Amino acid sequence: MNDTELWTLALMLAGGLLLLWKHKREYSRTNRYGVQEFSGFWNKLRSEAFDNALAGLGYGGILAGALLFAFTDTDAAGWVGLLGLILAIKAFAHQRRKS
């Protein structure tokens, strides 16, 4: 395993862990009725901003690792297209769930 493959693996692993942390934070704030509880308005804004930053860094890490893999391995272009399709489906499903 060369340095590029290690960086790819590290970026994707870090991105996945950041996404897990974001979802764990949301889960710990959710009551038994499925509603997130906050102690105040500013606490909600801070928490949501931090969760959005975690999500952005998580998806960015996964995407950066996938792109690094695609540009260094000639057979990986199909996998990056598949990853883009999966992320688009996930974003669409998340948007439908919010509305």
Mean pLDDT by runs of 10 across the 99 residues of the chain is 84 92 92 91 95 92 83 69 75 70
Please name every residue paired with 46 in a beta bridge, in sequence order, or none if there are none: none
Please name every residue paired with 36 in a beta bridge, in sequence order, or none if there are none: 30
With 0-12 / 13-18 / 19 or more C-beta atoms within 10 angstroms meaning exposed / middle / buried, residue 14 is: middle
Q: Which of 19, 20, 98 is nearest to 57 (CA)?
A: 19
CB atoms within 10 A of CB 35: 8
Q: pTM for this one?
A: 0.73
